[in-house]
Amino acid sequence: MIKFIKNFRKDEDGAVTVDWVVLTAAIVGLAAVAYTQVGNGTNELANTVETALSSVTVATPSTAITPK
């Protein structure tokens, strides 16, 4: 039984798996934060453009152009 416990303590295979799980979770978390920030910035920009374009009047030509 003591030999089993000593071998279990020396085994590092599970530690590598835990490291990868933690690293992957951190990457997914950072990606979620970045996605949220980009989404918020894009929505603000779209609202600004909408406000600017809603106050613009586009004139239509009063005379028709006839082809030659």
| pLDDT exceeds cutoff 70 at 67 | no
Total domain count for the chain? Answer: 1
How far apart are alpha carbons 62 and 59 in whole angstroms? 9
Is residue 19 in a domain?
yes
How far apart are alpha carbons 68 and 43 in whole angstroms? 47
Is residue 63 in a domain?
no
Residue 32's pLDDT is 97
Is residue 2 in a domain?
no
What range defines the domain where residue 20 resides?
Answer: 15-42
Q: How many residues does the chain have?
A: 68
Is residue 25 in a domain?
yes
| Whether this model's pTM surpasses 0.85 | no
In this predicted model, what pLDDT tens digit does every residue of 5-64 receive, in sequence order? 888 777 767 777 888 999 999 999 999 999 999 999 999 999 999 999 998 888 776 666
Is residue 27 in a domain?
yes
Q: What are 67's two structure tokens?
A: 């082809």
Residue 5's pLDDT is 84
Is residue 34 in a domain?
yes
